[in-house]
Amino acid sequence: MIISDIKLRVGQEHKIFAETVKRCGYEPPYFRILKKSLDARNKSDVKYVFSVEVSKEPFASKKTVVIDTKKIPTLPIVVVGSGPAGLFCAIKLCEYGFKPIVVERGDEIDKRISKIEAFAKERLLDPDSNVQFGEGGAGTFSDGKLNTNTHDGLIGEVLETFVNFGAPEEIKWLNKPHIGTDKIRLVVKNMREYLRSNGCEVRFNSVLTDLEIKDGKAIAVKINGERIEVSDVVIAIGHSARDTFEMLYRNGVKLSSKDFAVGVRVEHLQDDIGFAQYGKAYSLLPPADYKLVSHASNRAAFTFCMCPGGYVVPAASEKGGVVTNGMSNYARDGKNANSAVIVQVRSGDFGSSVFDGVNFQREIERRAFEIGGCDYTAPAQLLGDFLSDRPSHRFGRIRPTYPFVKPCDLSKVLPSFIVDALKKAFIDMDRRLRGFADAEAVLTAPETRTSSPVRIDRNERCVSVSVESLYPCGEGAGYAGGITSSATDGLRVASAIFKKYDNI
């Protein structure tokens, strides 16, 4: 039995079981929380709202069907990429009874952390191991946010899997679950060790350099030049593997351009966001977040990847370009809140060929690099100056968290239609979240890697429309956006591969 809409005042959450007993009239032997959210519509009376499930019998657990070993192909399945799409696909394939090879162009997590820190401190960029590439994918260096706009039936399995590998159990019921960049690193390590302990290979510093196709079917890959014959290839490369997109296109894989979004990172004081959202009670509550959309101009603008108590980080993966991203630790205890504020970019804005969107992103990143001084310093501007069309020369009470910034005029970095839409959006969003257009808020640019600018076209079997046995997967393939939807797509692709061989 499911009991919904149980409301408890802040500080009384520990009484949830007692309140459940009152509602159902007996003490249930089996009890679990399904959802916990915060109702802050009345700032003088903020409440937690719960949904719970009770039962007189143990809750059923889902079991994975294992494939008949006689049906397992003799050649390996190669999963390219170890972000959430690749990892969840590989783990599910392993549960089915397959032994995939996972190849990742970047480093394993500890070496990756060292290289990211070297870039942040000494500006030493490794194009293959950075915030975009390496074990765990781009989501490992983010807020570890797990909420999604989709209503995919696989989300429960994704959250359960994360918990099984070390994520906090609360992610299964929180309305806005997150792991945090510090905790997700351990989860990713545990996933890697699970795969290896079950007979799967996981290779790092291994770049997909070529794809061999015969009679319309993928038959081999080249990893760092080494040829490996394959039964199937899962392409879970993330949204920034531009060289791999180009290699696939040269080999006749059907790609198409798609819309994406570009903008800036905005930073406010976390205390200001907390007070605006929750009132005086904010200090008793988890760090406040927000999600805002504006249609003040002729194209949508919206916040993305909001990081309470977080940091703006260098996220470049190509030499000669500046990219920003945001991340938070599990505690979300940093002084600033940050979020991307981005504007819709349509295919008509950048041209009709497949890689015009990539080139559009790259040009903005290059311009930011040059304006910053050609040393990965990021251009930044006070929001008040941005709205008033004047360059910034210093910062005020809100200090940028990006490690090296140069006060400037962001209209020299971003296209004019992005600048105009952002100005209208900030003013519009301030009407819904007081203080959002704070004159001393800091804008750091550019935010260009919000999603893939290309799609690797696939059919209803999750197979490339042009190459059999090739499975485009996750955010880089254009079928997901964020950790959870990428993970669910990994599960979906693994299921498609299972069905292919189980039906033989």
Rounded CA gap, 432 and 479, in Å?
31
Using a 10 angstrom Cβ sphere, with 0-12 exposed, 13-18 middle and 19 or more buried, the burial of residue 274 is buried
* Residue 348: per-residue pLDDT: 86
* Residue 149: per-residue pLDDT: 66
Give the phi and the psi of residue 371 in degrees, each rounded to 5: -65, -30
Count of positions (residues) in the chain: 504
Give all strands of the β-sheet with 47-55 in edge-to-edge order: 2-9, 47-55, 30-39
* Residue 395: per-residue pLDDT: 97
Asked whether the beta carbons of 371 and 408 are under 8 A apart, the reply is yes
Sign (positive or negative) of CA dihedral 345, 350, 356, 359: negative
Greatest Cα pair distance in the chain: 70
Cis peptide before 446 (omega within 30 of 0): yes
* Chain centroid offset of residue 364 CA: 21
Say how many CA atoms lie within 13 Å of 304 toward its Cβ.
Answer: 23
Let me know the angle formed at the C-alpha of 378 by 375 and 379, rounded to the nearest 5 degrees.
120
- The shares of helix, strand and coil residues in the chain, as percent rounded to the nearest 5, are 35, 25, 45
pLDDT tens-digit profile, the chain (504 residues): 899 999 999 889 889 999 999 998 889 888 999 999 999 988 888 999 999 999 988 887 777 788 888 889 999 999 999 999 999 999 999 999 999 999 999 999 999 999 999 999 999 999 999 999 999 999 898 878 887 666 678 999 999 999 999 999 999 999 899 998 999 999 999 999 999 999 999 999 999 999 999 999 999 999 999 999 999 999 999 999 999 999 999 999 999 999 999 999 999 999 999 999 999 889 999 999 999 999 999 999 999 999 999 999 999 999 999 999 999 999 999 999 999 999 999 988 988 899 999 999 999 999 999 999 999 999 999 999 999 999 999 999 999 999 999 999 999 999 999 999 999 999 999 999 999 999 999 999 999 999 999 999 999 999 999 999 999 999 999 999 999 999 999 999 999 999 999 886
Question: CA dist 476 to 223, 262, 472, Å?
Answer: 19, 16, 8
- The residue whose two tokens read 């191991």 is 129
Question: CA dist 60 to 55, 159, 414, 488, Å?
Answer: 11, 16, 53, 21
Rounded CA gap, 467 and 198, in Å?
30
- The residue whose two tokens read 């199937």 is 232
What is the per-residue DSSP string for 180-244?
-HHHHHHHHHHHHHHHHHTT-EEESS--EEEEEEETTEEEEEEETTEEEE-SEEEE---TT-HHH
* Residue 504: per-residue pLDDT: 66
β-partners of residue 324 are 314
Give the phi and the psi of residue 405 in degrees, each rounded to 5: -130, 160
Rounded CA gap, 114 and 331, in Å?
22
Asked whether the beta carbons of 255 and 456 are under 8 A apart, the reply is yes
* Residue 70: per-residue pLDDT: 84
Continuous segment of H or E residues that includes residue 284: none
Lookup: tokens for 81: 């990429």
* Residue 150: per-residue pLDDT: 65
Rounded CA gap, 290 and 390, in Å?
28
Using a 10 angstrom Cβ sphere, with 0-12 exposed, 13-18 middle and 19 or more buried, the burial of residue 370 is middle
- The residue whose two tokens read 């009384």 is 12
Question: CA dist 65 to 62, 95, 206, 213, 414, Å?
Answer: 10, 8, 31, 31, 51
* Residue 347: per-residue pLDDT: 84
Give residue limits of the domains in the chain: 2-55, 70-255+455-502, 260-447
Asked whether the beta carbons of 497 and 232 are under 8 A apart, the reply is yes
- Helix axis angle, 181-197 to 84-96, nearest 10°: 30
* Residue 20: per-residue pLDDT: 93
The CATH code belonging to domain 2-55 is 3.30.70.2700
Question: In terms of CATH architecture, what is 70-255+455-502?
Answer: 3-Layer(bba) Sandwich (3.50)
Cis peptide before 391 (omega within 30 of 0): no
Asked whether the beta carbons of 83 and 474 are under 8 A apart, the reply is yes
* Residue 143: per-residue pLDDT: 79
Rounded CA gap, 99 and 76, in Å?
7
Asked whether the beta carbons of 301 and 425 are under 8 A apart, the reply is yes
